[in-house]
Structure 1
């Protein structure tokens, strides 16, 4: 009798734990209505090539802006992502005199700058969250989504990470945040 009661309680506890974990794992946060901004440094390594740039990411409800600059502050490229709901609907890349537009921001950035950067998911990944558009899994603090292994760290007693590492195949992206601003336009 006592064994049956323990087994029954164990089943209830396990079912509750599974439901709680599923709810936590499937509830990514939306972009705050006031938006957010992050500035810092990004390093992209693939095979024997390494690129480093300063970046500024400004997220608003329907649009994100990524500005990549040289270490001396010269703007290399400006990428503007337009959203329809939570999905990127178009991307415009400004490289000085040239303005290019496409539906696929990663492909556009790769073709025109040579940089491989998963910008479609970065609105969420910068904050250590999964994109609401794709399935994901967690391995402790590590987020697995779209073939990427996202590792946020260095929270500095805040809910936002100051270091994010993205890994996929032989591509490694390190993002170091210098400053967060939660009241961006």
Structure 2
């Protein structure tokens, strides 16, 4: 059973896009407002290091992000509905704020660029971001807001090329994201 699970995990491999396809899809990706994904998130800070499971559902400007540890226990649920940002911690306590990044940092010490990540996770740079493109004109690296993103793989989902692996670093925080499943609506 273990061998089968191990082989299945190793079988996931990013595919190569035909030249020029990324530019043709940028408009479609920027209009993609409803999606969800499942991923593994590695986080390294000066105080801790860990591996988490991430489930993220985006619906226009609203979202729900759920992080669990390796045994399935909730680390936190973060959601935005309208202008309200709410975080439910591992003890079930609810915290609210206007800004998700500040709320997460206040409660966990983690610097997570939640608002920007909704675009970056689709491979879309922001207007002021510095971008280096790969041979298929997809983002290879993005520098923005003190963050450095490195896209390590893409996969095709419903005809669109989406990131499958990326590393993010900011000062002494490093995030490694391996996306195992995308669902587009």
TM-score range, shorter chain: 0.7 to 0.9
How far did residue 139 of structure 1 move?
Answer: 2.2
The question of whether the paired residues in 1 share the 8 Å contact of 2:67 and 2:75 is answered with: yes
Give the gaps of 5 or more residues in structure 1.
Answer: 1-22, 84-88
TM-score by length of 1: 0.73
Q: Which runs of 4+ in 1 moved over 6 A?
A: none
Question: How far apart in 1 are the matches of 2:47 and 2:74?
Answer: 25
Question: How far apart in 2 are the matches of 1:160 and 1:56?
Answer: 16
Q: Residues 99-128 of structure 1, C-alpha deviation per residue, up to 9 Å, x if partnerless? A: 111112112112212322111111111111
Partner of 1:136: 129
Q: Residues 9-58 of structure 1, C-alpha deviation per residue, up to 9 Å, x if partnerless? A: xxxxxxxxxxxxxx99x97943524x001101111112363122111010
| Secondary structure, aligned partner of 1:124 | helix
For 2:112, which of 95, 111, 117 is the aligned residue? 117
TM-score by length of 2: 0.73
Give the gaps of 5 or more residues in structure 2.
Answer: 1-22, 134-139
Question: How far apart in 2 are the matches of 1:28 and 1:173?
Answer: 27
Query: Rg: which structure is higher?
Result: 1
Change beyond 3 A, Cα 1:28–1:138: farther
